[in-house]
Structure 1
Amino acid sequence: MKVLKGQDILALGFMTFALFVGAGNIIFPPIVGLQAGPHVWIAALGFLVTAVGLPVLTVVALARVGGAMDSLSSPIGRVAGVVLATVCYLAVGPFFATPRTATVSFEVGVAPLTGNSPTALFIYSLVYFLLVLMVSLYPGRLLDTVGRVLGPLKIVALGALGIAAFMLPAGDIGSAQPAYAAGAFSKGFTEGYLTMDTLGALVFGIVIVNAIRSRGVESPQLITRYAIIAGLIAGVGLALVYVSLFRLGSGSHVIAAGASNGAAVLHAYVQYTFGSLGSGFLAVLIALACLVTAVGLTCACAEYFSRLLPLSYRALVIGLAAFSLLVSNLGLTRLIEFSVPVLTGIYPPCIVLVALSFCQGAWHSATRVVAPVMLVSLLFGTVDALKTAGLTAWLPESLANLPLSAEGLAWLVPSVITLAAAVVVDRMIGKPREVLA
């Protein structure tokens, strides 16, 4: 029976970590650290729950069913599962997340050096997606290219930044903004929610499993074990990165006072700490982080849609890279404007799906419980999405002021109530029905 060597397991963990850490993961923690002031570590705890805990749980849930999202979503039926998976793959793939990796890396790392012009963005994104295309065409080599080369390079760069954050702080911790003073944990929790790493984990699950299979491992038990180990390695790496970036932001009050986003905090810190080399260092770090994430998203999307459409994997990789190139040239502001409400709406049912996948043995029928709770979470997640899009006027007052609505979690209480009711109904009906697959 084929097994992975220790170095292969470590490379798999590096690959999983590298897939998750994109520019958004690097940008969010510094601004939380800056704005949370003396409450930084309470906010950090909330952030780690949603930005590390949920993604790791998602990797584990997918590993238990072979890595495919449609297997995880079998309790809601094949048609609904395909629709959910398609929306997730498109959202974190060619429509939003993949193009955003190029625009973020350009605006954070390159635009300060070249100027923020459409021509510069086009040239950068063209080269960027050519690199993405070259790596994504050979998914069987992903463990070598990402796990052994790009992953360690990213870890070294992030390690240097993290060590500097602790060894070379820019100053003392400043005062907290009102939102963090009032509820640091809940504010950090929702900021971690915005990294969208759980959606990314749903997409990356099949990439991780296929990387294991590319080494000749066929045993479902071993595949699950290795995927769980990889998820835990990635989780530890993410936590270390976030903690160092929280520290970086918390000590940047003097040099980055008034910064409105994490990119500005990072720019101020690297310029202060590394001088003229700062911008170049940040450009390489952000570009590398985004490139690896874009490769993972492209491979995952091509793998999924090659099973739905009469198109080859290679043809889909080329098409996805070309489409992402076009969308990326809309610019970061417009991409974020379109993407955040959509992702806010689809995130709740994905959280519900992952969480309930660990409890299905407790019910007579998973369909009776999972399907209604996911539906309710989607409906109330749409309420959060409309508020995020600035369309609160479209909502009745009763929906606009739901419990936890101000925190972007209007879906949570209705979902818990629905879960309790669904469990009671399931127990009353008793005999299990066949779950659609």
Structure 2
Amino acid sequence: MKRRELAAIGFMTFALFLGAGNLIFPPMMAQQAGENWLIAIGGFLLTAVGLPALTLIVLGRLSSANKLTASLPNWMDRTFWFLVLTTLGPAFVLPRAVTVAYEMGIKPFYHGDGLMMFSVLFCLLTLVLALKPGKLVNYIGKVMTPALIAMLALLVIAALVNPLGSPTDANAVYKAAPTVNGMIQGYMTLDAIAAVAFGWVIIQTIRSTGVKCDKAISYYTLRVAGIYAVLMSLCYLAMGYLGATSSSIAPNSTNGGEILTRYAAGEFGTFGQILLATITLMACLTTTIGLTNANGEYYKNTYRVPFTISATVIMSLTALISNVGLETIIEVSLPAILILCPIAVSLIIAIIFMPKTVSNETRKLSMSQTIIVVIATLFGTIDALNILGKIPASILKELDTWLPLFHAHASWLLPVLATVVISKVIHTTQRRSDVVTQ
């Protein structure tokens, strides 16, 4: 693969992940972290960038995204992928991206109710671009991403030259433990689960350049993950700086979108509002194209559904659901993603520490991975109920006392790690026993 092609795929990967949520999340956190914003962003990067990059690297080592679940029972395998791609697709993330694109990109300049027309046109444009998956690198990696980076750079350079405020005192949470809380917020971006879906697109794109060898796919995926990690880290640092220096222009803001809007207007006036609207529209468009492509690839490879049909159905559903309302979409679909993210990360952990449980040649059931998924589902459900505020106060107090990492929404982590260690010991003991017997 040529260096130019590799760079284009890396840029494309960055753009696929860079949705509007990735832009508005760090400014809010950095404003709350105040003088400790850089420490908090450091923790944020560990989970918000580190987990997705690690997921891509593992998928590249497997040389195929569907091998992530190849050692699970068939029904569990199919259910996992269906739920992941449905919630990241038409049930949640795609409609959210369309709605956010409208709210931040169009609504500030149009005071009527144009969501329905916008959603149809936006989904139609996404469909047109997604129906040519072989061209993804050309119009995302080589055109849209450089333009997006240039616009972001313009806003950040203006902020560096003319900051509109200075970091204030950190609030109580970020004064006590900025790194830990940054890590928690980074995990809550849920980009680790998005990486599982984008793995379909990235590996297929690498294959389309003529790379067929599994080792070569692993090598190039590693480098693509590195490019993504550098670009996304710089983006988060830049957005964090804007939030940290927004004390005078956007004090007591309720969300990162408000901070960015006021900052852009403060630096450039009306042009700044147009600039931010364009950035948001492009960021949402690259994400919707990537997720539509991931869904289409999955249904084509797994159920032999023609890509054109699946992509058309997905975009039609997205256009329809986008008009339901963002609050309703989040209320219905967020629990599934909050549970699926621990499952996905647990599978990645299992493959890293127990690579022998994955068969790259044929489907081979692994009891260890199955148990790990069950445990991640159980404790992930508890964490999801906690995040959604569905646990009674009396039970909440007991769980906070007796369940490690419950307050960090990661009570699944230690049980999963313990299961991995026990499984590793059992497998090692069995192999030694087999050697002695022979």
Relative to the length of structure 1, the TM-score reads 0.92
Q: C-alpha separation between the residues in 2 aligned to 1:214 and 1:43?
A: 39
User: Hey, what does 1:419 align to over in structure 2?
Assistant: 420
CA distance in 2, matches of 1:200, 1:191: 16
Call closer, same or farther: CA 1:386–1:220 in 2, change over 3 Å.
same
1:14 aligns with 2:5: no
What is the rounded CA distance, in whole Å, between the counterparts of 1:360 and 1:395 in structure 2?
38
Report the counterpart of residue 106 of structure 2 in structure 1.
Answer: 110
Establish whether residue 306 from structure 1 lines up as the match of residue 300 from structure 2.
yes
Equivalent position of 2:116 in the other structure: 122
* Residues in 1 aligned to 2:433 and 2:186: alpha-carbon distance in whole angstroms: 37
**1:422 and 1:212, CA in 2 relative to 1: closer, same or farther beyond 3 A?**
closer
**2:330 is equivalent to residue 329 of structure 1:** no
Q: Distance in 1 between matches of 2:383 and 2:76?
A: 22
| Shift of residue 363, structure 1, vs aligned partner | 7.1
Task: Tell me, yes or no, if the aligned pair for 1:372 and 1:422 is still in contact at 8 Å.
Answer: no
CA distance in 1, matches of 2:207, 2:427: 38
Kindly state the Cα deviation for residue 368 of structure 1 after the two structures are TM-superposed.
Answer: 4.2
For residue 331 of structure 1, report the CA deviation from its aligned partner.
2.2
Aligned to 1:262: 256
Are residues 1:94 and 2:81 paired? no
Of stretches 222-231 and 38-47 in structure 1, the one that deviates more from structure 2 is 222-231
Question: Which residue number corresponds to residue 374 of structure 2?
Answer: 375
Distance between the aligned counterparts of 1:165 and 1:345, measured in 2? 38
Describe how 1:254-403 pairs up with structure 2 within 5 A: 254-361=248-355, 367-393=366-392, 396=395, 398-399=398-399, 401=401, 402-403=403-404
Preserved CA contact (<8 Å) 2:357 2:369: no
**Cα distance per residue 1:31-90 (max 9 Å; x no partner):** 01100011111111111011111111111111111232x201223233322211111111
Question: Matches of 1:56 and 1:36 in 2, distance apart?
Answer: 25
Q: Which moved more, 1:347-356 or 1:332-341?
A: 332-341
Is 2:28–2:256's contact at 8 Å kept on the other side of the alignment?
yes
CA–CA separation in structure 2 for the residues paired with 1:16 and 1:364: 26
CA drift at 1:193: 1.3
Unaligned residue ranges in structure 1 (runs of 5+): none
Corresponding letter in the other structure for 1:81: D
3-state DSSP class of the match of 1:392?
Answer: coil
Q: In 2, distance between residues paired with 1:264 and 1:372?
A: 44
Match of 1:73 among 65, 69, 72: 69
RMSD across aligned C-alpha pairs, in angstroms? 2.2
- Native 8 Å contact 1:383 1:399 kept in 2: no
- Give yes or no for contact 1:165–1:244 (8 Å, CA) kept in 2: no
Report deviation, 1:340: 2.7
AA partner of residue 56 (structure 1): A
Alpha-carbon distance in structure 1 between the residues aligned to 2:358 and 2:413: 24
Moved more, 424-433 or 287-296: 424-433
The answer on whether the counterparts of 1:162 and 1:241 sit within 8 Å (CA) in structure 2 is: no
2-structure distance, mates of 1:406, 1:109: 36
Deviation per CA, 1:330-379, whole angstroms, max 9, x where unpaired?
22222223333221111111111112212224779993433322321211
Query: Aligned partners of 2:292, 2:390: CA distance in 1, in Å?
Result: 32
Residue 29 of structure 1 corresponds to 26
Q: Contact 1:363–1:426 (CA<8 Å) still a contact in 2?
A: no
Question: Quick check: 368-377 or 378-387, which moved more?
Answer: 368-377
In structure 1, the partner of 2:362 is none
Identical positions, percent = 34
Q: Distance in 2 between matches of 1:219 and 1:423?
A: 29
Distance 1:82 1:394 in 2: 36
Question: Are 2:203 and 1:209 equivalent residues in the alignment?
Answer: yes
Which is worse superposed, 126-135 or 388-397?
388-397
8 Å CA contact 1:270, 1:278 repeated in 2 = yes
* Equivalent-residue separation in structure 1 for 2:164 and 2:92 (angstroms): 34
- 1:141-220 mapped onto 2 (5 Å cutoff): 141-220=135-214
- Listed one character per residue, the Cα deviations across residues 384-431 of structure 1 (whole Å, up to 9, x for unaligned) are 111222211299454465222222112223223333333333344447
Checking the alignment, whether the CA contact within 8 Å between 1:33 and 1:250 is kept in structure 2 is yes
Structure 1 residues 364 and 28: alpha-carbon distance in aligned structure 2, compared to 1, 3 A threshold: closer
Out of 40-49 and 325-334, give the one that drifted further: 325-334
CA distance in 2, matches of 1:224, 1:364: 16
For structure 2, which runs of at least 5 residues remain unmatched after alignment? Answer: 360-364
Indicate the residue corresponding to 2:410 in structure 1.
409
1:429–1:151 Cα change, 3 Å: same
Distance in 2 of aligned mates of 1:223 and 1:36? 40
For 1:411, give the aligned amino acid: W
- Contact 1:249–1:265 under 8 Å retained in 2: yes
Q: Using the alignment, how far apart are the partners of 1:158 and 1:395 within structure 2?
A: 47
Letter of the 1:39 counterpart: N
Cα distance in 1 between the residues matched to 2:72 and 2:46: 26
Q: Deviations over 1:235-275 (max 9, x none)?
A: 10000000011111000011111111100111111111111
Give the conservation status (yes or no) of the 8 Å contact 2:351–2:358: no
CA distance in 1, matches of 2:302, 2:328: 30
| Shift in CA distance, 418/394, structure 1 to aligned 2, threshold 3 Å | farther
Taking structure 1 as reference, are residues 245 and 352 closer, same or farther at Cα in structure 2, changes over 3 Å only? same
What is the CA-CA distance between 1:224 and the residue it aligns to? 2.1
Displacement of 1:195 after TM fit?
1.6
What's the CA shift for 1:192? 1.0
Out of 127, 135, 140, the position equivalent to 1:133 is 127
Per the TM alignment, residue 147 of structure 1 is displaced from its structure 2 partner at its CA by 1.2
